[in-house]
């Protein structure tokens, strides 16, 4: 569900590339896309609009159609017998919905009641990098800033960046922004996400705070998050300061990260080697570099964490969870 969107399209590519066992694939989207043809696995599939009829007979649904669509249709899908891996933020903080990152807390899948939530993209890449450090030394406090790509907002945001950049480069006045509150081309916005009434943090910052604690299973971790939107198409970058509970040397942290599943260390700053969004784009791993001691805090390390927000930040993890559900016999089962 959401098969025609940025995340849905990437999920479809990965299902084919990873030979996911599929008897029948049914791409669902809105009325706007009904009848549209999608090439998948050598076949031309017809997109169906989500409806009470279209959701019958499905075993596993990978869903990325937005929060309000998920709120309405996920319970109906579960009622119709499907197990749903949902990419939207709607179910993530529900107590009876596991929020799962395949390398971090796969055991949480076992308790699902039909819905499994896929975390927010910025949280996802950060916890993959934090997990080995957390296991070795605990985490007292995180102070982080994100540098988030526009594809994290969906297709319309990529079009907005391209249109504005084209206008500026041709000496024209860029059109009024539609997706973001200000011009994004050649600019940096101190706002990724939206401000709820009376909240001085964006919802994206709240997601990082709350989802990190839920995934690591540690409500005591203090998190200070600032989420920034930058004019990058794909690949979120994050500067993360990690204060550990026990001492942890940068050399040991580097060894732990080099051995961690789903992590690639790129850390030779003297040679100009550190993770970059343009190199992470199209990759499944989380890239970590600039691993160093915080110059002002003996108990803290600084990291630079980069990943493709559409891959590990969304589609790759969703497909990895689907693979784990199949391997562990957890499709169609509810506790």
Ligand X SMILES: NC(=O)c1ccc[n+]([C@@H]2O[C@H](COP(=O)([O-])OP(=O)(O)OC[C@H]3O[C@@H](n4cnc5c(N)ncnc54)[C@H](OP(=O)(O)O)[C@@H]3O)[C@@H](O)[C@H]2O)c1
User: Which residues are part of the catalytic machinery?
Assistant: 121, 236
Rounded distance between C-alpha atoms, residue 148 and residue 145, angstroms: 9
CB atoms within 10 A of CB 162: 13
Indicate the DSSP class of residue 89.
Answer: S
Residue 8 found at the interface with ligand X (CB under 6 A): yes
Q: Nearest to residue 239, comparing CAs of 204, 291, 311, 317?
A: 291
Site stretch for ligand X (CB under 6 A), options 3-11, 102-110, 175-183, 323-331: 3-11
Minimum gap (Å) between residue 173 Cβ and ligand X: 26
Residue 35 found at the interface with ligand X (CB under 6 A): no
Q: By the 8 A CB rule, do 82 and 55 touch?
A: yes
Q: How many residues make contact with ligand X (CB under 6 A)?
A: 28
Q: By the 8 A CB rule, do 250 and 291 touch?
A: yes
Site stretch for ligand X (CB under 6 A), options 18-26, 30-38, 179-187, 244-252: 30-38
**Which one of 12, 15, 38, 50 is in contact with ligand X (CB under 6 A)?**
50
Minimum gap (Å) between residue 50 Cβ and ligand X: 4
Residue 170 found at the interface with ligand X (CB under 6 A): no
Residue 113's alpha-carbon distances to 23, 84, 331, in angstroms, are: 23, 10, 10
Partners of 225 in the beta sheet? 144
Residue 174 found at the interface with ligand X (CB under 6 A): no
Minimum gap (Å) between residue 64 Cβ and ligand X: 4
**Which one of 5, 98, 235, 289 is in contact with ligand X (CB under 6 A)?**
5
Q: By the 8 A CB rule, do 166 and 327 touch?
A: no
Residue 64 found at the interface with ligand X (CB under 6 A): yes
Residue 65 found at the interface with ligand X (CB under 6 A): yes
Partners of 62 in the beta sheet? 85
Rounded distance between C-alpha atoms, residue 123 and residue 216, angstroms: 11
Site stretch for ligand X (CB under 6 A), options 25-33, 97-105, 199-207, 246-254: 25-33
Rounded distance between C-alpha atoms, residue 132 and residue 153, angstroms: 29
Residue 27 found at the interface with ligand X (CB under 6 A): no
Per-residue contact string for residues 130-169; x = within reach of ligand X by CB under 6 A:
---------------------xx-xx--------------
Residue 185's alpha-carbon distances to 78, 157, 158, 234, in angstroms, are: 41, 11, 10, 14
Residue 240 found at the interface with ligand X (CB under 6 A): no
Q: By the 8 A CB rule, do 69 and 76 touch?
A: no
Residues between 79 and 98 that touch ligand X (CB under 6 A)? 87-88
Residue 253 found at the interface with ligand X (CB under 6 A): no
Minimum gap (Å) between residue 157 Cβ and ligand X: 8
Rounded distance between C-alpha atoms, residue 27 and residue 12, angstroms: 9
**Which one of 38, 121, 303, 305 is in contact with ligand X (CB under 6 A)?**
121
The smaller minimum CB distance to ligand X, of residues 32 and 170, is found at: 32
Among positive and negative, which fits the CA dihedral 117, 120, 125, 128? negative
Residues near ligand X (CB under 6 A) are 2-8, 29-30, 32-33, 50, 64-67, 69, 87-88, 121, 151-152, 154-155, 309-310, 313-314
């Amino acid at each position: 569900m959401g098969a025609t969107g940025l995340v849905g399209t990437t999920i479809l590519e990965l299902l084919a590339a990873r030979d996911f066992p599929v008897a029948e694939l049914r791409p669902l989207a809105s009325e706007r896309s009904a009848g549209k043809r999608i090439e998948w696995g050598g076949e031309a599939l017809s997109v169906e609009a989500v409806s009470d009829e279209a959701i019958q007979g499905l075993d596993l649904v990978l869903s990325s159609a937005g929060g309000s669509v998920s709120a309405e249709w996920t319970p109906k899908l579960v009622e119709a017998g499907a197990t749903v891996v949902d990419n939207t933020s709607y179910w993530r903080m529900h107590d009876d919905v596991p929020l799962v990152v395949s390398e971090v807390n796969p055991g949480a899948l076992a308790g699902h009641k039909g819905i499994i939530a896929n975390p927010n993209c910025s949280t996802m890449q950060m916890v993959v990098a934090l997990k080995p450090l957390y296991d070795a030394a605990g985490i007292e406090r995180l102070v982080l800033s994100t540098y988030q790509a526009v594809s994290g907002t969906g297709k319309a945001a990529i079009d907005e960046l391209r249109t504005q950049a084209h206008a500026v480069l041709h000496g024209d006045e860029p059109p009024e922004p539609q997706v973001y509150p200000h011009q994004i081309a050649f600019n940096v916005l101190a706002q990724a996400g939206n401000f709820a009434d009376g909240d001085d943090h964006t919802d994206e910052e709240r997601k990082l705070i709350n989802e990190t604690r839920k995934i690591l299973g540690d409500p005591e971790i203090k998190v200070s998050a600032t989420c920034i939107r930058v004019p990058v198409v794909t690949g979120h970058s994050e500067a993360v300061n990690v204060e550990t509970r026990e001492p942890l040397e940068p050399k040991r942290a580097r060894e732990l990260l080099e051995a961690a599943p789903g992590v690639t260390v790129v850390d030779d700053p003297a040679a100009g080697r550190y993770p970059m969004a343009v190199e992470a784009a199209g990759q499944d791993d989380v890239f970590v570099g600039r691993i160093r001691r915080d110059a002002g805090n003996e108990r803290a390390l600084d990291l630079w964490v980069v990943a493709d927000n559409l891959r590990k930040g969304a589609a790759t993890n969703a497909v990895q969870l689907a693979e784990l559900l199949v391997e562990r016999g957890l499709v169609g089962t509810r506790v």
